[in-house]
Amino acid sequence: MTDPDHDIEQALASLRPRAPGPAMEDRLARELDAPSSRRGVIIAWSSGLSAIAAALVAAFVFLGGIVEPEAPTYQLVHVEQTRPDVQVFHPVRMDDGSYARPMRVRWQDTTRWEDARSNTRLINYRPNDQLTLLPLETN
């Protein structure tokens, strides 16, 4: 019984790679034995200089360099909430046949915080707007 896949497998198994030629060996030897390039010298110098700079910065920081200011301590000074503005709209008919009245309520919340040491203020202003439907009962 002749199997074409079996013949191909035997043919592939019998293949052997050729040894590289002398030109290929010479080219590989030249690439592996290449002299150090100018780029390597530049990288060596820049790494050395950056190491010196890092050592100077570390010495400056650890030997009393940078003093961080204290964080502000805000205290609540004023809270205000405006009177709500209520808007009532005409009733609308819902999908189920009932009626509802749309209503919008708007107001503003304001809080003020101060830091006495640095004389800074933080004002938090929040406008609020809510829309709702109030169900209406009809008899």
Q: 65-89: per-residue pLDDT in tens?
A: 566 777 788 899 999 999 999 999 9
- What local confidence, expressed as pLDDT, does residue 110 receive? 94
Q: Which of these, 41, 55, 60, 133, lies nearest to 90 by C-alpha position? A: 133
Percentage with pLDDT > 90 across the chain: 35
Helix or strand (DSSP H, E) at 69: none
Do strands 120-136 and 99-115 pair parallel, antiparallel, or not at all (unpaired)?
antiparallel
Residues 114 and 77 sit within 8 Å (Cβ to Cβ): yes
Q: Which residues contact 122 (CB under 8 A, 6 or more apart)?
A: 74, 112, 113, 114
- Measuring CA to CA, which residue among 67, 75, 78, 86 is closest to residue 131? 86
Q: Could you tell me the pTM of the whole model?
A: 0.42
Residues 76, 124: Cα–Cα separation, whole Å:
11
Dihedral angle of Cα 32, 33, 39, 41, to the nearest 10 degrees: 140
Give the pLDDT score at 92: 92
With cut-offs at 50, 70 and 90, classify the pLDDT of residue 100.
very high
